[in-house]
Structure formats: C-alpha cells, structure tokens
Amino acid sequence: MSLLVIVFTIFWSIAIAGMLMNVVLLALRVPPRPQGPAAARPQDIFLLMPMHDEEAIVQAAVERFTRLQWSLAYGRLHLVVVEDGSADSTNDLLTQAAKRHPNIHVLYRRPDVGGRGKGRALNTALAYIRHHALHDPARTVVGVLDADGEISAADLQQVADYFAGDPAIAMVQTGVAVLGTDHWLARVQDFEFSVLNALTQNLRSHLGDVAGSGNGQFFRLTALARIQWGTTLLEDFEISTRLLLAGYPTAYLMTARVRQEPTLTLRTYFR
C-alpha cells in the first residue's frame, strides 16, 4: 500500500469520525434554558445594525424592526443603527426613520472615519449603550444584526428566555439561515449555515467554546463592560474568543435563527 493511499485513508477516516461525532452531538444538542423568573428577564434589548451605503434596504430594515417592537412578551426593544459614513441617501433615510420611531437611535460616523470595518461601527454603538442603558446592565441584552438580517419575534423571544434562564450566560449565538433559496449558490450557503455551521457550533457548545457568527450574536451588557469588538475582518470570532479567555460562558441556540440575504456571485462568495 502506497504512502498516498495510507494518508488518504487516514484523512477520510478522521473526517468521517468527526462528522459522526457531530451527528451524535446534534442528537444530544444542548436544550434551551427554561424561562427564568420575572426578576431575571431582560428589561431592554438593543439590536445593533451598522449601515454603509444601504439606501436600498433602509426602509425594509425599519419595517422589520417595527413589527418586532411590540411582539415580545417582556422587555423593551431598541434599534441602534450606526450610519457608517455612507455616500448615498442612507443618512437622510435613517434621520427620517428616527423621527418617526423613538426606539430607533441613529449614530453618525463621518465619511473620513466611517466604512473602516464592522468592529469599529459596533464599538461606536456599544459606547452609546454603555452610557444610555436604561436599567440594570445584567438585564440588558445587546444583539447584532446585519442590515439585511431578519429574526422572528418567536426566535428573539427564545434568546431573551435563554438569558433569563441562565443569569451567568454572557453570549448566545443563534443559528443562521438564508432568505430565499431559488439560486443554486443560495442553496449552497443555506446548507453551509444550516448544516455544516450548525454541526460545528453544536460541538463547540458542548465544549463551552461557541464562536460568534456575525449575524445573531447576543450579549449580556455586563460581559461587555471591558470587552469590545476588534478591528479585524473576523471581529465576531474575535469578541467570542475574548469572552472565552475571560472565562465567560457562551451558548449556541440552534432553535432560533437569523435569516440573511445570500450573495449570488462567486466573486463575493469567496471574498
């Protein structure tokens, strides 16, 4: 037997064993926490949404938020949009939306400092929340949604219940799915998120090392007292790693999902 065949056999044996382990762990997935007592329920949920040249989807994002706003069993929902130095009409559209909806807060970054990474925009929003949190930081939840991200009221309620059921939890990462799967590349991305990513995150959840996935990250504000997003391209993974190194427990909630628009070109998919 040649060395190449031996290496090939070992590689695929390890790969298959890893997949089988994930399947077993998926069957034994960590169940959602029971709903906690009223005294532990989040009082405020802030959704952070950076926008840069997003004039085409501002109205849709605002409409999704207003539908969510009155759908939770408890807690107040706020949308904090960071207008990250856009060159189009995003700024004007957000200003109009904030005038109509008091729970929409718009933060403006100048064009000369905006558009330099999602982490910087999120830290701008975090600084605002730290100074404007209305109640107990331990009962304040901070979530991240992309401008095209969508979460149902039922799934957002699951997230709130998870924080209420475990006062020690610092971060909850939801599952991620794709909106619309008519295009073949959209189906590829949906499989990647709904199957491959879900299996990996479920394994990490059992190991106590859940990775942030951008869309659908939710944090207890007390965990962000001294920790914030980095400036790398993987700012979501970076902040979850910082939480891990600081000893904060994290969890993956696969029964809740954030849905996002797929990319439909190979160039943007591999970028």
DSSP annotation of 214: S
- pLDDT at residue 17 is higher than 70: no
**What span, in angstroms and rounded, lies between the C-alpha atoms of 222 and 238?**
18
Q: Is the model's pLDDT at 31 over the cut of 60?
A: no
Q: What pLDDT is attached to residue 122?
A: 96
Q: Which amino acid is at 89?
A: S
Any idea where the domains of the chain sit in the sequence?
A: 43-270
Rounded CA separation 170/115 (Å): 28
pLDDT at 96: 95
Can you list the positions of beta strands (E) in 37-98? Answer: 44-51, 76-84
- Burial degree of 225 (CB within 10 A; 0-12, 13-18, 19+): exposed
* Cβ–Cβ < 8 Å for 195, 63: no
- The two three-digit tokens of residue 55, written as one number: 């004039």
- Euclidean distance between CA atoms 85 and 74, whole angstroms: 34
User: How many angstroms separate the CA atoms of 146 and 223, rounded?
Assistant: 21
Q: Name the residue with higher pLDDT: 250 or 69.
A: 250
Residue with tokens 């007390």, as numbered in its chain: 222
% of the chain with per-residue pLDDT over 70: 85
CATH architecture of residue range(s) 43-270: Alpha-Beta Complex (3.90)
Higher model confidence: residue 39 or residue 224? 224
What is the spatial distance between Cα 144 and Cα 142, in angstroms, rounded to a whole number? 7
Q: What is the pLDDT of residues 104-148, one digit of tens each?
A: 999 999 888 777 889 999 999 999 999 887 778 999 999 999 999
Q: Are 106 and 81 in contact (CB under 8 A)?
A: yes
> At 40, is the pLDDT very low, low, confident or very high (cuts 50, 70, 90)?
confident
- Give the residue, 94 or 205, on which the prediction is more confident: 94
pLDDT reading at 254 higher than 70: yes
Examine the pLDDT at 222 and tell me if it is beyond 60: yes
Tens of pLDDT, residue by residue over 62-104, are 999 998 877 788 889 999 999 999 999 999 999 999 999 999 9
Q: How is residue 193 annotated by DSSP?
A: I
